[in-house]
Amino acid sequence: MTDREQAGQKALEFSENLWKSGDFWELESSEYERLRYARLIQVLQGARYPRGLELGCGAGHFTRLLAPQVDHLVAYDISPSAIARATGRAGAAGGGGTSTIDFRAGNAMDYAWRADGPWDLVVMNETICYLGWLYSFFDVAWFASELHAATRPGGRFLMANTIDKQGYDKLLLPYIIRTYRDLFLNVGFTLDREETVQGTKNEVEFETLISLFARS
C-alpha cells in the first residue's frame, strides 16, 4: 500500500469512527456553529449558482442550508455513515430544496468530483486541515490546483477553517490555517472577500477564517 493509499485508509477510519458515534463536533447543536454557518451563507450575498460542489459535507447540516442557493448541489464525504445520515434526513424531509442535493460517499483526494465539473461554486467547510494532517504537502498542493481547474471561470470557491489561537488543537494553529488560504491563492484563485467569525465552543475561544475566492 502506498503512502497515499495509507492516508486514505486512515482518513476513512478516522471519519467513520467519529460519525458512527453521532454528531461528535456538535455541528447541529452548538451556538457557535449556528453563527458560523449563518455567516457563511451571508458571505455568498444571495448569489445563485447552477452547479455546486461541497467537499466534506458530513451529515449534511450545512449542505441543506446551502442548497437554496444552488440549482444542483453534489455533496461528498469520506464517511459512509455520515452520508447515510445525510440521505436519511433528506429523504425524511421529502421534496423541496432537498431534491437538489446529491449526496455521495467518497474521498475528495480520489478526485471523482472532477468528472462532473466544471463547478460554479465549490465549498470546503472545515476540511482542508484534515487533508493537510493526513496527506503530503505535494498531494494537498496538487489537490488545490485540480480544484482550481475544476472551477468554472467566474465561479467561486468558499472555504472556512477554524483557528485555535490557544493551541488546543494543533491542526488549527493560525499560521497553518493561513498557509492553506495562501496555497489556493498561489494556484490561481483571487480573493473576493474575507472575514472572521469569533466565538466560544465548549469553553474554548475560536475564530473562523472565511475566504471567498474567485476563479478568473
Q: pLDDT value at position 144?
A: 98
Give the pLDDT band (50/70/90) at residue 88: confident
* pLDDT tens digit sequence for 24-51: 778 888 898 999 999 999 999 999 999 9
| Cα–Cα distance for residue pair 146/168, rounded to 1 Å | 32
53-70: average pLDDT: 96
Quote the percentage of the chain above a pLDDT of 70. Answer: 95
Per-residue pLDDT at 90:
65
**What is the average pLDDT across 175-198?**
96
Task: Spell out the domains of the chain, with CATH numbers in brackets.
Answer: 3-214 (3.40.50.150)
User: Worst-scoring range by mean pLDDT, 110-114, 176-180, 204-208?
Assistant: 204-208
Helix segments in 135-196, DSSP class H:
137-150, 174-186
Q: Is 209 helix (H, G, I), strand (E, B) or coil?
A: strand
> Which strands make up the sheet holding 70-77, listed edge to edge?
101-105, 70-77, 49-55, 119-125, 151-163, 204-214, 190-201
